[in-house]
Structure 1
Amino acid sequence: MPTDAPEQLRQILSSVKTIALVGASEKTHRPSHDVMAYLQNQGYRVIPVNPRLAGQQLLGETVYGNLPELSEPVDMVDLFLAPERTDPVIDQAIDLKIPVVWLQIGVINQEGAARAEAAGLTVVMDHCPKQEIPRLGIAKRA
């Protein structure tokens, strides 16, 4: 069952350092762009993933086409995708052993979450780190 207990969310957001943000957008009015900028401002390294923008720069980071193309390991993958598009990304996260799969508000995939959890990954679903960080009182990283 995906986690939503405050102490577990606090532990996740306090321990992760590098986040792959799948569905990153160059459009400043999109929630994924806003959340990426917020997480960077909080001290996280956020690597954007979007096949349409692969190779371009977004908020100072190179955009990758998919998770297997990443040049470094990440602690968490944050999915800004329609629920029906999350299965391949969840499977990539399982294959790459990314410790945390975070599905944004409204992104519900119970079967994918169950697969990830069965593989030993932690899953957060229907939450936003931009909302959880201030709610949980997590201090900005240096």
Structure 2
Amino acid sequence: MAKNKFHDGPGPSQRQLRVGELIRRSLSEVLARGDVHDPDLNRLSITVGEVTTSPDLRIATAYVLPLGGTGQEDVLQLLARNKGELRRMIGKKVGLKFTPDLRFRIDETFDRLDETRRLFSQDDVRRDVEADDQDDT
């Protein structure tokens, strides 16, 4: 059974985090400025929430979300179609010896936040949380 790198063993290294953040900033900048030669992609406003890298830094997975959250599959297809150009642009900006292969996934963080807020707003959950807070004091 494969281990999930986020739940078993140590988390990502400082280098993985640093490279992921560099790629995230560069990708966000390229997408915001509309530097890609694809008018369909340039028409969209895309948020790059996080970029994770494999331990060997050969694969970078960008978690993205289109503004408003609609057209997610279209965004993934457009990004995949322009993956080579995006990789070249990021490689120039980041200056790594080897530019990772880019993968794109939908960022579900916002959906999980909404669900968490919904759960905490339920009367029975709020009552339990308040009871726990009183027990701690």
Greater share of helix residues, 1 or 2? 2
TM-score normalised by structure 2 residue count: 0.29
Q: Which has the larger radius of gyration?
A: 2
